[in-house]
Structure 1
Amino acid sequence: MTRRLRLLSANIQAGSSTRRYSDYATRSWSHVLPFGGKRGALDAIAELAGQHDIVGLQEADPGSFRSGFTNQTHYLAMRGGFAYWTHQPNRSVGGVASSANGLLSRLEPLVIEHHPLPGRVKGRGVLVARFGAGDDGLRIAIAHLSLGATSRRAQLEFIGELLGDARNAVLMGDFNCGIERPEMAALFRATRLQPPQFHVPTFPSWRPQRAIDHVLTTDGITLAGLRVLPATASDHLALSADLEIPEHALSR
């Protein structure tokens, strides 16, 4: 027996809108100032998130100046109607701008784990939620990996050790690289996670050409559907995945 769950992975860029490469320069102020339509963007993200059972966020501001001191993960949980939420602050730039991984869930997690990731520059992490008891219990991991290949390799090796014994696991987030990269092959060798059957471009949001956001599952979980959702903010499209999870993986 299986249970279908709908998951969303979204790099929300702290609610900032990017619609062309020139915006990185002309709208750079939106990454450090507490206005620019962020609240409206968050409301639109919450509407998308509310159509899912579990949501993994990257680049959610945990409450700095640029977000008007709003914890964006908490805000999205309240607006989206999620009973459970948690976040993992990873990087702060002088209190002006901060970044976090976030989890929104309709299912109650049994355990939440926060792990810092290795890398040349600190400020990356992986958030792991366990939803079922025992070795077969479902693990959901949310990560935002580095731009540099050397740091990314070390991070994927760490995640490989973390999920190496997991029989039912999902790893989702912004990997900043495609599945074909050699560091990804090392992850697949170390775990039961499977390469996706097809690639879905998610970046840049206004003209998607690169598949750098992923939802990866172990071999006991069936990926029944994968699609991108229109960007409401951010320079990434969000990924929505329908998964068939073994019932025993959710047993408490």
Structure 2
Amino acid sequence: MVEQVRQDVEPADSAEARGRSAGGRSAWIRERVAWTRERSAWRRGRVLAALAVLTAALLAFHRAVPNFPGRLGSSLEAFLPWLGLMVVVVFVLALLRRSVVALVALLLPVAAWTYLFGGLLLPADARADTYDLVVVQHNVSDTNTDPAGTARALADAGPDLIALQELVPPALTTYEKTLAPGYPYHAVRGTVGLWSKHPLTGSRLLDIKPRGIPEGWNRGLRTVVSTPHGEIAAYVAHLPSVRFGASGLTSSSRDESAGLLGEALAAESVERVILLGDLNGTVEDRGLTPLTSRMNVAERGFALSFPTAFPLARIDQVMTRSATVAHIRTLPATGSDHLPVTAGITGLRAAQ
């Protein structure tokens, strides 16, 4: 009888042990699945992570990208800020893929973009007396059908200096008449000109014509502006256009002209200099190194100026020597394919 009871009890104990064993296996399986999912989140999206690292490398080391064939490096630098869109794309895809490694890798291009362009997003000081000088730069277009309206729009911004390119007759006469009341001093050489509230002296043609371009191509002007803060050498320039084609970017004439302009700036005897112009290149473009290596560029503002319909790059520039371009922004569209840009200059009072 005792033996029979033992036999009855033992199956119950075995069932309980088996239950505990099954519960342990279930917990182990759940832990294993969670661990696998966590590991998969780190493994998933490695292609996206590689794309993030590549974007960061292009931002941080864009000067290392060779310029041949087809001016590849300059092509990249012309649209360098737009690599920030790649960060947004990778971020969205990484969220969809639930990829931890891709999200971590995105910290690299975010840091690189912020280092290069983050300062341009900072707000400017809006006080009227913030700037020592306010300037406007505008390629008015030789096909502009409303030069009078364009001139009035630029004057309404209230700058001290207005630099214009693609001045052609009979529109030139219209600009002169329209701007004369507020800007009694002006100088025009070739197709570029400068209008000023302050006296101009020593105005002369600036030869920045590259080889192979016919005579009569005059796109450079140098003059001296007698401002309340002392004399400033003002340069107005319109560098040759660049072209994008099947073989890449064609910019050799632009680069040569930039080199000639850079030599003129290096030889300038007046300490303080302002360069205004359609330079057909961004300040990141290595083709403008002869200028950007000698001059200060804008500290605040993107001011994408071309083309008017959908601005992709700022090729209209304001640069200074012994002064600071504190902020640059665009003005409303005129009859041109460029947007006007206006910049506030500081540091002139301290240099007196």
Name the TM-score class by shorter chain.
0.7 to 0.9
| Cα-to-partner distance string for 1:118-150 (whole Å, 9 max, x where unaligned) | 2232414211111259xx841111111101421
Aligned to 1:126: 220
Aligned to 1:171: 275
Alignment partners' CA distance in 2, 1:202 and 1:147: 15
Question: Which one of 138, 142, 156 corresponds to residue 14 of structure 1?
Answer: 142
Letter in 2 for 1:210: A
Give the TM-score normalised by structure 2. Answer: 0.53
Change (3 A) 1:234 1:3: closer
Q: CA deviation at 1:71?
A: 2.0
Distance 1:75 1:9, change over 3 A: same
Which has the larger share of strand?
Answer: 1
Gaps of 5+ in 2: 1-129, 243-250
Aligned length: 206
Greater shift, 223-232 or 160-169, is seen at 160-169
Q: Distance in 2 between matches of 1:109 and 1:59?
A: 21
Aligned-partner Cα distance in 2 for 1:140–1:249: 16
Correspondence list, 1:108-123, <5 A: 108-119=199-210, 120-122=212-214, 123=217
- List per-residue Cα deviations over 1:48-89 (Å, max 9, x = no partner): 22411110000122x24xx4xx524412322x5211112112
Per-residue deviation, 1:44: 4.0
Q: How far apart in 1 are the matches of 2:174 and 2:141? A: 11
Q: Which of 68, 86, 94 does residue 187 from structure 2 map onto?
A: 86
Amino acid corresponding to residue 284 of structure 2 in structure 1: E
Shift of 1:221: 0.9
Residue by residue, what CA displacement relative to the aligned partner does 1:165-211 show, whole Å, maximum 9, x if unpaired? 4431111111111122222123233x3x0233353210111211121
Larger Rg: 2
Partner Cα distance (1:159, 1:241) in 2:
21
Name the CA distance, whole Å, in 2 between partners of 1:3 and 1:204: 28
Q: TM-score, normalised on structure 1?
A: 0.73
User: Please, which of 288, 291, 308 is the counterpart of residue 205 of structure 1?
Assistant: 308
Q: Aligned AA for 1:105?
A: S
CA–CA distance in structure 2, aligned partners of residues 163 and 249 of structure 1 = 18
Partners of 1:44 and 1:56 in 2: CA distance: 13
Which one of 232, 238, 250 corresponds to residue 138 of structure 1?
Answer: 232
Runs of 5+ in structure 1 lacking a partner?
17-36, 90-99
Secondary structure of residue in 1 paired with 2:302? coil
Question: Match of 2:319?
Answer: 216
The answer as to whether partners of 1:137 and 1:249 remain within 8 angstroms in 2 is no
2:330/2:342 contact within 8 Å kept: yes
> Contact 2:155 / 2:182 at 8 angstroms: preserved in 1?
no
Counterpart residue number, 2:177: 75
Cα distance change, pair 15–118 in 1 and its aligned pair in 2 (3 A): closer
State the SS of the aligned residue for 1:138.
strand
3-state SS, counterpart of residue 305 of structure 2:
coil
Task: Provide the rounded CA distance (Å) in 2 between the counterparts of 1:163 and 1:222.
Answer: 16
Matched residues in 1 for 2:345 and 2:298: separation?
A: 13
